[in-house]
């Protein structure tokens, strides 16, 4: 089963997790990380690292964030480069999470990433999709 780390500003993450659990019951391998104004990026990294550890069963983890480029997204992006099968999604909404909840057990992290971006329309994107728009710099010549 894919782990979910929901991360966002203020009460965003906990409110999302609470709404999902009210509707569907307790969600295994699912954590909320709230990013408060004034919280250091070091502390945010520690909180998200703990959440990643608690949510990962070996099948992969999906970071679900509120805003592309904001601190939770950037922190998740850095962490995803160090762990295999980690995806970073931004712009998630409650209806999309309700619809995607059942796919946690059947899809790989990459398939989940593609499906949620496809279903979410223009508001939802992923780190991978953003990188495809702006591929990394490649050195053409060896000196």
Q: Give the integer Cα–Cα distance in Å for 62 and 76.
A: 9
Element (H, E) at 31: strand 30-35
Catalytic-labelled residue, pool 9, 85, 103, 129: 9
81 flagged as catalytic:
no
Give which of 70, 133, 72, 94 is closest to 15, Cα–Cα: 94
Active site residues: 9
């Amino acid at each position: 089963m894919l782990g979910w780390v929901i991360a966002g500003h203020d009460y965003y993450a906990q409110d999302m997790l609470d709404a999902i659990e009210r509707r569907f019951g307790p969600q295994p391998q699912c954590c909320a990380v709230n990013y408060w104004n004034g919280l250091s990026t070091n502390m945010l990294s520690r909180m998200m690292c703990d959440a990643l550890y608690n949510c990962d069963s070996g099948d992969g983890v999906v970071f679900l964030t509120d805003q592309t480029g904001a601190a939770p997204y950037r922190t998740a992006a850095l962490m995803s480069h160090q762990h295999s099968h980690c995806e970073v999604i931004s712009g998630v909404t409650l209806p999309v999470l309700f619809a995607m909840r059942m796919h946690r057990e059947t899809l790989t992290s990459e398939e989940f990433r593609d499906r949620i971006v496809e279903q979410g329309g223009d508001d939802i994107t992923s780190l991978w999709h953003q990188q495809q728009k702006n591929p990394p710099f490649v050195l053409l010549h060896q000196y």
